[in-house]
Every structure is written in structure tokens, then in C-alpha cells.
Structure 1
Amino acid sequence: MDEVRLLCDYASDYLDVNELGDFTPVTFEELLLNIYPRKVIAPPESASETVAAARTLVDFLLSTEEIGGKMAARMRTVLDRIEPEMPIALADTSRFGMAKSLFSAMGADSLEQGGPHPGAESPEERSAEEPATGICDCPGCSPLPPVRLASREALAEGALRVPLVTDVRRLVQWMLAGGRTPTVKGRLRVRDAAEATAQLAVADPALLWDLAVYAGLVEVEGVAIFDADAPDPLDTWAAVVEFLVEKETRGAVTGAPALDEELYGLCDMLYRLQAPVPVPIVMEYIEGIGLTDEGEIDLVEVVRRLAYCGVVEADEENLTLTPAAVWALRELYTGLGMEAPEAADLAAVDASELIEGLLSGIPTEMAEADIEAWLGGRTAEEAAAQLLGAVSGAPSVARGIAVTIVDRLGPDAAPAVRRHLEEAELRPHVIHWLSARGLAAPALTQQEVLWMSVDTLALAISAAEDDPESFAENMAASGPPAHVIDEMWRVDHPDVVQVLELLGRSLNDQNIAKAARKAAFKARSRAIG
């Protein structure tokens, strides 16, 4: 019954099925081949159970006289056709929505378990019967996204300015200057800890001392203490972060013992998202892994402490890892044998590599900086020639990236842009570019207008999945009118069905949305025919 309920919920949320009698054969096709693959994290082999639930729903609709016998027969015929197609749709990662893609990449259990943890079993500890593919179902095998790292000089400078690191060094110097020694086990003496708190105004000198020892800032042999050779600041910083997220700190880091234990998972989530995370979402994460069950957590105090440790940066709304923390976590992942790729600097690459890099999912701020740096190294004409030349015959998303960047260029790029007038896929964009700048250009035909509308919207599919509300608002303000949508199904474009389906589920005007769904059905039928 849970599957049947989920079918009804999705039909209501995405397909305007407000009454049971609103179900149609097309509803089931949209649900099982479009909505489920986008929204539901489920293995392909579960498709048969979902189709069985759909058949149960058809039986119920018939028994309650919500539909007639002929409609039920049509629905069952559609379900028979869908059954072998649905496992393929569930396995097709290109159909995943943002949330499903993220959680699939992180591992189904990673948000509940705090992500991959250094304590997770290593490949050597896994059963010998497991296939040696290097990939399994444990969160530790979830692929990490590529990250952009600051220069070593900037990272080292930043690490030395971290208040926690500064206090660790102050404590070590204070211990040396006073001839103080640790305990036989290398711990800070209670008397010294009390004096350090009073004289140095540090909150937890015992934690600072443990960090100093772990990071190699001091060496302890029995009761002797002396300066180690001056270590590389980044080596010190890597050890500090590893200590914070991996060792037993009993609440000394965040102020909450339970959260200290899950600090690796929190940092791992921020590392994987690579974007500022709204503070309420961080709190939801903390609640989601059950930490608040053990008592109230003061998130403001947690953020303050983590900022003191140099791990996060925060404003009133968002939380993100510091560049130094990103570097240190990558060092930790690499040390654990995980593949932690570094995002290439796109400023000096060719146009194809630039487009590929922009499509890899790097954050918006990083992408903007890369585009500006790339354009800054070329004349407008050179940039246009390289970008448009790189996407001749390419998929619409790559073409959309190139056209979007070329749209930033002024009339100086016209000779290079005009050379692509004879290419069918680029011609509508070229004509529009020239006309927008008041330059001589042929008139767009109606078919070219339709084709460019579909091609432009194809680029928006990913962004629409990320932020459907903003997409719907933009479409309401400047989207194609109903008569254009009605004709889009005729366009010979590989993404026309996907674009029309996007409009059908996103547009606020229900009449235009319905027209888009009808056009999508016509486009699918045309493709099949």
C-alpha cells in the first residue's frame, strides 16, 4: 500500500491528478518513466514491484467505478509496455533530479550515518567474496566531487591565521618559556591548564596541547618537552583538521559531545555540496542524524567554535568550508585511499575543455571566475571562434554553454560568429546574436524560432531541477507563449520531449502546462512513429 500511496502523492504533486478519476494511461507513463526516475532512489530491480502497485491501483479504480472497463484495459496495456522500460529508466543517471543525484552520489545512508567515516571498513577488510571493482555499497566508496584548491602559499598563510592554530603555538611557547613539563603520559598537567586559561585566555588548553602533540609542534619523551624542527604550516594544519574530525574530543570542539563524534560527517557533507549551505539546512542535517535527541544544540555556538577552529566560514544565512578546510579534508581523503579529484584551472584550457569543465558541476561562483579569466586571455573574435567551433555537432547542453558565453561578447566578435550562419544547429543563435546587436542578419523563420526556443530551454533543464520555483517564476515572466508551446512538438530536436515535459510540470499557468504535456505526448508519439 505504501507504493500505491506514493503513486497517488506524486500524481497529485506533479501531474494535477486531484481526483482518482483523473488518472489516465498517460499519468502512469509519466509517473513510472519520468517522475520515479527523477525523484525516487530505488534499484532497477524494484521496478516490477512499482508496476505491480500500479496494477493494484488500476484494479482499485475499476472496482470503485472511478474508471470504466475500457480505460482500465488501456491502462493495463500501457503498464505492460512500461514494465520492461522502467528498470532502464531507474538506472539512467541522466534522468536523476538534483536531490536524487546528490544523495545517490553520497550513498543512500550517508546523511543518516554522517557520510564516509575513517572508521569504515577498508577494502582489505571487506569480504573476499565481494567483486574487486573498487566500488561497493558502503558510503566510503561514494565518489567525491572535484574541488578547486587555493595556492599553497595562500593556504599556508590562511592556516597560520586560524585562531586555534595561533593559540596552540602560544601555548607551546608558554610551556617552553616557563620550563613546564607534561605528565608522564604526555598530557597537560591540571595546574598548567588552569594557569594557561588565566594567563593566555584560552578556553580549552588541554585540547590545544593534545593538538600540539598530534600536529608535531612538540615532541614528548617521558617528561621532556622541546621544540620540534619548524614543520610545514600545511602539514601542521592537515594534522589539526585530522585530529578535529577523527579523534575523540568529547565535545571540546563543538561544545556538544554527540556532534563532535559526527563532525567528520558534517564536514564531508559541506565538502560534497561545494556551495554555501543555508544554516537551517545544517540544523536539519543535525536533527536528521538524531543528535538533538541527546539534548539541545546551540547552532550559533557550534558555528562560532568551528569558525575559531578554521573549519567553516559563516554569515547570517549560510555556512561553508574554508578553503584551508577543503584542502585539509582532501588530504585526509587521499590518506584514506579515497579518490579526491582536484578541479582543473580552466583559465588556460581550450574551449572544449572549458565547456567540459563548466559542465562538471563546479559551483556558480567558481564557474563565473573561470569564464571571466578565460575570456580575459583572448580577443572577442578569438573567443567566439573557439567556443562556437568547439560545439559544432555537440549536444544541446554544450552548445548552450558556448552560446551563453558568446552572448557576453560585443560586436567585435561578429566576424567569427557570422561564420557559423550555415550550420543548422547554430544558425538561429547566430541570427539572434547579430540582430540583438543591430548588425545585418537574415530573418528567423518560424521553424528556427521554435528550434531555438527548444534548444535554449534544454540548457535550463538542470537548473530547473535544482530550483524549480525560480524556473517557474522565470517562465511565468518570460517563457514561450501557449501558441509556441503548442507547436514545439514539431521541432526536430533531440531534447524536445524532455523540454516539453519540463514545461508541463513547471509552468504555473495550468492551461499552458496542460498544453505542454499534450505537446510532449505528441512529440513522443512522433518519435515512436
Structure 2
Amino acid sequence: MAADHPTLPPVRLPSDAELARDALAAPLLAHAVRLARWAGPATRVGAGGELADEQLPEAVEVLGIADEEDAELLAGDAWRLAVDTGLVDIEEDGDAEDTDTPGRAAPGENLAVVTGGSPQDVLALWLDGFDAVFSDAVVPVVDDLEEMLGEDGAVDFASLDWDPDAETEFLEGVLGNLYLLTVSEGGPGEGPVPLPALAASMVVPDDMGEPTDDVLERVSDAMMRLDEQFRLLEPIGLVDYRPVDEALMAEEGEEPAPPVDEEDVTRYGMVRLTPLGLYGVRARMLEAGVDAPAVGDLAGKGADVLLDGITGYPEAAARAETAAWLAGRAPVAAARELLAAARGTDPASPLRRLHCQQALALVGPEAEPAVREVLADAQLGGLARVWLAERGAADVPAPPESMIFWLAIDTIAAQLDADGDLAEVQELVEGLTGRHSGFFEAAWRVEHPATAEVLEAMGRLHRDKGAAKEARKAAFKARSRTGGQSAGA
């Protein structure tokens, strides 16, 4: 009955301004910016745009990282990012006698984005940096590069048994799973995820019980690969990462450590997406055509889009999305728009009315004039009376019996569509039948498109066998009355 749900739950992101500040504070991008400001006519580079070896010590000093391990390697990485993101332009030096340094560097056009660009401009720059680091992360680590060089001087990746498409798909899958764990209700939220669990999510089949030794070995291999990749992705600000304890690394010829340690799983690596990381992974998913909503996406849409759009959202996200929609709207006008959008006899309408009722709760007592306007409406009058009664409003007219039963059918239909707690729906069903004697004799006559479907569900859910049988009989009568058509017909 319900409308299609989004592929993923909505993510709650900070403002673009906050994300842009995080982007500029990411160590790798901050270093790239510093080197771009340092670059000038005297800065010599190699054929691939990399810093000449004799320039690396000065670059290390500029970055203030002389005391860090692999300082020149870090400086080289920052320089490469500056080139990849347009923070630095490489100019060929036709007069250069030294063929090892055939070019010079100069600050690039994108350097102006850092100080004068909008938050969106800064985030676009950061996304370019993320893409560059992602590309580096899927390239295999080569211990002896010279042994891998072909006759033409290029690296012979075929000899590494490396499939770039498969490696890209693997890392995208890992980041997608980490994103889903972060945004899902009941997931770790902002907490870290153990690396073994993340690796297992990519390797262990969903229907597998006890993993085989072969699968466990593949999980261990995946962990080691992810350990290297997350070490590369952390400096761009994508993740917070606690690496695998080096004491657990297996030497060549030794058995690797088991992938899970119940006593201290943190030694096997812990990772979480930062808010900037959530933004970056979502951007990649959107580019790939994945439906990855964010709270606030519906704020500028109509009430009809809002009420349909939050279908499938976790409760907290639905409330946040609704609050964002209400912000800046006049309460009475917003309430009228919500109520108008809640009308209908289509299969998704019961859930729209439930969302409308929840949205009106956020509007508050200011919505009362708009709510009173629909007291006589066959579809909204019951909802309006409930809303007014919950707020202790005076002069609420008693509903006709037909409206009571219509609201009952509509409410159960909405709860069934909401895919909520089955026990709660069961309590609702049994509570309604307990309060109204002869419920089923009246219910099958209700002119609601979901009547038969709801009565069938009540027959499945009711724990009293006699009541369940009555519900099934009532469902048969309802179908006979409507010519056997279902709610979705």
C-alpha cells in the first residue's frame, strides 16, 4: 500500500559552512594549500609534476613536519594533491637543462577558492581531493617498484594480478556499508565500527552460518587491505581511524592472527565516517545514481512531497525533516497545506494522514484554526478530533459512528504501511476490537479502500482465535461488497 521507500535512510549533515571548515582543516588538504602558497618560479618539478627530490626538504620545512616519520613522503603526497586539485599549476620549462626537473610550479586558480570561495566551492575542491585519494587507495602497494617496471618504463600492473574496477567496487562497497551502518536506526551512529565486522560485511555471504577457514582467511586479507586504505583516507578527513595493532600483523610464512578478538576487538582496527566523510560518500553515491537522501532535502518542497517523502524514514529523521519543512512557514498556512495533502483514497493515503497527524503535533496549538476547518471532512474529521482532544480543546463535536470506524481502518492501514513494530500493531488491533463490541460487523461496511486488506491483517494478528475468525469473515464480506478488489487495485 505504501509508496516506494528511499534506498537509504536519510543522513543528518552539518551546514555547508561547517563542512567547508572541516574540509580546510583536513591535514592533507591543509598541507596542500600551504605548499601551493609556497610554490613559485624556483620550485622545480619532475616530468609527472612531482616535486624534484632536492625540493622535498624545503617542502618539509614549510609544512613544519620535520620531526614526523616519512616526512618527505608526506610532503610528496600533499604536493601531489595540490597538483591534482588545481591548487598548483605545472608549467613546462623548455629551457631546463636538467631533464629530471623539466618544469616549474606556480599557484593555481583554485587556490583563490580557499580564501574567497563559497562553502560549496570549498566542498567541490575537497571532493576533488577525496576522488584523488580514493584513486590512490585502490592502487596496490608495490614494495620494489623497479621490479614492476616494463620495457617502456611504466609499471606493469598486469603482473600484480590487479583489477582496478574490482578494487574500486570493493572500496566503494566498504564505504557504502560504513555509511549505511552510520545512518541506520539502531546502528553505531557516530561510534566507530570494528574493522573485522566491516571486512566480513564484504566477504561473508549473508546466508552463511559459521564461516569456513577459507572465508576467515579472506576476511583477514580484506582487513589488511582496508587497514592500508583507511590510513590513506584519514588525512583527507574522510574517516577517523584506529589502525590495526602492528603486533598482530603476520610475518611472511606465519599464520595470520584470527580476525576477531572478543576481549579487545579495537586492536583489529576501528573506523568511523566523519561528518565530512558522510558528505563525501553520499556525494559519490548520488553521482552513481543511488537514492541517498539527507535531512532537509524536502524543506522547500510541497506538503504532498513531504508526507510521501518521509515514508520509510526512521522516526527521529522524519521528525527532523518535518521540523525543517515547518521552519519559516506560518503555522496556520502550514497546517492547511498538510491537511490538504493528506486527503486521498490512493494506497499511500493512510500513511500520509499518519504523517500529517505527526507533523501537526510539531506545529503546536497554533494549528487549531486549520484543524477545526476539517471537522466535517469524512477523511480528516476523525484525525482532527483526535488532535483537538489530545490538546484539551473545548467544543469538540462527537464523531458519527461511521467516522469512528473509518478512522480505525485508516489508522491500522497506516501502521501496516509504516513497517513498524508488529507487537504495537497487534496491541492496536486488539485494543480497538476490545473497546468496540461488534467491531467486525460494522467494520466490513466501512467505505475505505483498505477495508478488506486491513480486516485480513487483523485476522492474522489477533491472538484471540474467535476474533481472528470474525476478522476473516468480515474481510470476505468486504471483498464481496467491493467485487473482490483490493486496496491497491
Per the alignment, residue 238 of structure 2 pairs with: 311
- Indicate whether 1:405 and 2:268 are aligned: no
**Alignment-mate amino acid for residue 436 of structure 1:** E
The whole-number CA distance in structure 1 between the counterparts of 2:35 and 2:467 is: 66
Per the alignment, residue 397 of structure 2 pairs with: 442
- Indicate whether 1:224 and 2:104 are aligned: yes
The whole-number CA distance in structure 1 between the counterparts of 2:281 and 2:353 is: 36
- Indicate whether 1:473 and 2:423 are aligned: yes
Per the alignment, residue 342 of structure 2 pairs with: 391
How far off is 1:199 after superposition?
3.6
CA offsets per residue over residues 159-200 of structure 1, 9 Å max, x none?
Answer: 2122332243456668x5997744433345678779957545
Per the alignment, residue 262 of structure 1 pairs with: 170
Q: Could you say what secondary structure the match of 2:418 adopts?
A: helix
The whole-number CA distance in structure 1 between the counterparts of 2:241 and 2:316 is: 16
The whole-number CA distance in structure 2 between the counterparts of 1:434 and 1:95 is: 27
CA offsets per residue over residues 446-503 of structure 1, 9 Å max, x none?
Answer: 4433321221232233431xx5xxx123235555435567454443221234444555
CA contact (8 A) 1:330 1:340 kept: no
CA offsets per residue over residues 402-446 of structure 1, 9 Å max, x none?
Answer: 222223454443332222121111121122222223322233444
**Alignment-mate amino acid for residue 263 of structure 1:** L
Q: How does 1:167-182 map to 2 (within 5 A)?
A: 167-170=31-34, 176=39, 181-182=44-45
Q: Where in structure 2 are there 5+ consecutive unaligned residues?
A: 93-101, 114-121, 142-163, 206-214, 243-265, 485-489
Per the alignment, residue 84 of structure 2 pairs with: 214
- Indicate whether 1:286 and 2:286 are aligned: no
What RMSD over aligned residues (CA atoms) do the two structures have, in Å? 4.9
**Alignment-mate amino acid for residue 383 of structure 1:** A
Per the alignment, residue 130 of structure 2 pairs with: 241
The whole-number CA distance in structure 2 between the counterparts of 1:489 and 1:313 is: 57
| CA shift in 2, pair 1:267/1:424, >3 Å | same
The whole-number CA distance in structure 1 between the counterparts of 2:468 and 2:426 is: 14
**Alignment-mate amino acid for residue 483 of structure 2:** I
- Indicate whether 1:165 and 2:25 are aligned: no
Per the alignment, residue 375 of structure 2 pairs with: 421
In percent, how many aligned pairs have the same letter? 31
The whole-number CA distance in structure 1 between the counterparts of 2:464 and 2:27 is: 55
Q: Could you say what secondary structure the match of 1:225 adopts?
A: strand
Per the alignment, residue 186 of structure 1 pairs with: 49
- Indicate whether 1:452 and 2:403 are aligned: no
CA contact (8 A) 1:238 1:328 kept: no
CA contact (8 A) 2:413 2:450 kept: yes
Structure-1-length-normalised TM-score: 0.56
| CA shift in 2, pair 1:503/1:178, >3 Å | farther
| CA shift in 2, pair 1:446/1:332, >3 Å | closer
Within the candidate set 333, 344, 367, 1:382 is matched to 333
| CA shift in 2, pair 1:325/1:251, >3 Å | farther
| CA shift in 2, pair 1:300/1:386, >3 Å | same
CA offsets per residue over residues 131-151 of structure 1, 9 Å max, x none?
Answer: xxxxxxxxxxxxx99989876
CA offsets per residue over residues 109-158 of structure 1, 9 Å max, x none?
Answer: xxxxxxxxxxxxxxxxxxxxxxxxxxxxxxxxxxx999898765444323
Q: Could you say what secondary structure the match of 1:295 adopts?
A: helix
The whole-number CA distance in structure 1 between the counterparts of 2:300 and 2:282 is: 27
How far off is 1:376 after superposition?
4.1
Q: Could you say what secondary structure the match of 1:372 adopts?
A: helix
**Alignment-mate amino acid for residue 396 of structure 1:** P
Q: How does 1:196-215 map to 2 (within 5 A)?
A: 196=60, 198-200=66-68, 205=74, 206-215=76-85
Per the alignment, residue 430 of structure 1 pairs with: 384
Per the alignment, residue 303 of structure 2 pairs with: 351
The whole-number CA distance in structure 1 between the counterparts of 2:368 and 2:112 is: 56
Q: Where in structure 1 are there 5+ consecutive unaligned residues?
A: 1-93, 103-143
| CA shift in 2, pair 1:199/1:145, >3 Å | same
Within the candidate set 286, 297, 316, 2:223 is matched to 297
The whole-number CA distance in structure 2 between the counterparts of 1:214 and 1:380 is: 49
User: Which protein has greater RCO, CA pairs closer than 8 Å, 6+ apart?
Assistant: 2
**Alignment-mate amino acid for residue 217 of structure 1:** L
| CA shift in 2, pair 1:186/1:472, >3 Å | same
Q: How does 1:20-35 map to 2 (within 5 A)?
A: none
The whole-number CA distance in structure 2 between the counterparts of 1:96 and 1:378 is: 26
| CA shift in 2, pair 1:437/1:356, >3 Å | same
CA contact (8 A) 2:19 2:276 kept: yes
* Number of positions where the alignment pairs a residue of Structure 1 with one of Structure 2: 380
Q: Could you say what secondary structure the match of 1:461 adopts?
A: helix
Greater shift after overlay, 416-425 or 446-455?
A: 446-455
Structure-2-length-normalised TM-score: 0.59
Q: Could you say what secondary structure the match of 1:297 adopts?
A: helix
| CA shift in 2, pair 1:182/1:379, >3 Å | closer
The whole-number CA distance in structure 1 between the counterparts of 2:67 and 2:472 is: 72
The whole-number CA distance in structure 1 between the counterparts of 2:462 and 2:338 is: 35
CA offsets per residue over residues 331-388 of structure 1, 9 Å max, x none?
Answer: 7965x8x6989877544555345435445x6675554334224434345433333322
The whole-number CA distance in structure 2 between the counterparts of 1:512 and 1:265 is: 50
The whole-number CA distance in structure 1 between the counterparts of 2:240 and 2:450 is: 40
Q: Could you say what secondary structure the match of 2:223 adopts?
A: coil
The whole-number CA distance in structure 1 between the counterparts of 2:355 and 2:2 is: 20
How far off is 1:286 after superposition?
2.0
| CA shift in 2, pair 1:269/1:528, >3 Å | farther
CA contact (8 A) 1:472 1:508 kept: no
Per the alignment, residue 123 of structure 1 pairs with: none
Greater shift after overlay, 214-223 or 421-430?
A: 214-223
